[in-house]
Amino acid sequence: MKIVLGVTGASGAILAKETLRQLGAAGANVHLVVSRGAERTIPLELGPEALDRMRAMADVVHPIDDMAASIASGSYGIDAMVITPCSMRTLAAVAHGFGDNLITRAADVMLKERRRLVVLPREAPLTEAHLNSMLALTRMGAIVAPPVPPFYAAPKTIDDVAREIAARTLQWLGVDPGTALTRWQGGP
């Protein structure tokens, strides 16, 4: 599968890194787009070399301003896209059709082509504007999934939480997460 991974400047760079790792392990062809905000956030949250390591893990890296990139057109044939973490600015831009950078344009392509778009918004608490943008995207067919950990998986570390959230993200994208996903087995 060809997957676009958009990374914005909201807190939660670990989610992008783990999603990228799991997509690679699953054999997906990953097109990475990192916003300017994420270029600042990733080193703060994951260390000074993290952005370079993430770029090295992707199959294709697109500059945020490359509006002529392959993924800016529906004819290219991307199978699915995820934005993780997704800032409220990006959420609103996608919800209202502002394709003003490659992340928002690629997301717009996914919506107009009726392909899978998964958005992991990072903000709390939420305003009415945030909720309205989430509702608009849901009505357009996107999957809006705030990164809430599955506590039944009994995560012990932040890496456990990120692994579970990324595994669910893969599942929503239509990619088998394999053993990274703790599946509910039923109650006692």
Q: What's the rounded Cα separation, in Å, for the pair 23 and 175? A: 8
Cβ atoms 125, 139 nearer than 8 A: no
Supply the Cα-derived Rg of the chain in whole angstroms.
15
Under the banding of pLDDT at 50, 70 and 90, the label for residue 186 is confident
In this prediction, residues 26-37 reach a mean pLDDT of: 98
**pLDDT (average), residues 99-108:** 98
The per-residue pLDDT of the chain, averaged, comes to: 97
What angle is formed at CA 126 by the lines to CA 163 and CA 23, rounded to 5 degrees? 25
- pLDDT band of 188, cuts 50, 70, 90: confident
State the pLDDT at residue 184: 87
Residues 125-168: tens digit of each pLDDT: 999 999 999 999 999 999 999 999 999 899 999 999 999 999 99
**Is 127 strand, coil or helix?**
coil
Q: Name which residue leads in pLDDT, 166 or 183.
A: 166
Element (H, E) at 116: strand 116-121
Contact 82, 20 (CB under 8 A): no
Q: What is the pTM of this model?
A: 0.97
Span 56-101, pLDDT tens digits: 999 999 999 999 999 999 999 999 999 999 999 999 999 999 999 9
Domains and CATH numbers, the chain: 2-177 (3.40.50.1950)
Residue 49 confidence class, pLDDT cut points 50, 70, 90: very high
pLDDT the model gives residue 185: 83
How many Cβ atoms are within 10 Å of 19's Cβ, its own excluded? 29
**Cα–Cα distances in angstroms (integers) from residue 97 to residues 69, 121, 134, 140, 150, in the given order:** 18, 17, 13, 11, 32
Integer angstrom CA distances of residue 157 from 73, 136, 162: 39, 34, 9
Question: Which pLDDT belongs to residue 143?
Answer: 98
Q: Give the pLDDT band of residue 41 (cuts 50, 70, 90).
A: very high
Strand order of the β-sheet with 143-144 is 60-62, 29-34, 2-7, 80-86, 116-121, 143-144
> Would you say how long the chain is, in residues?
188
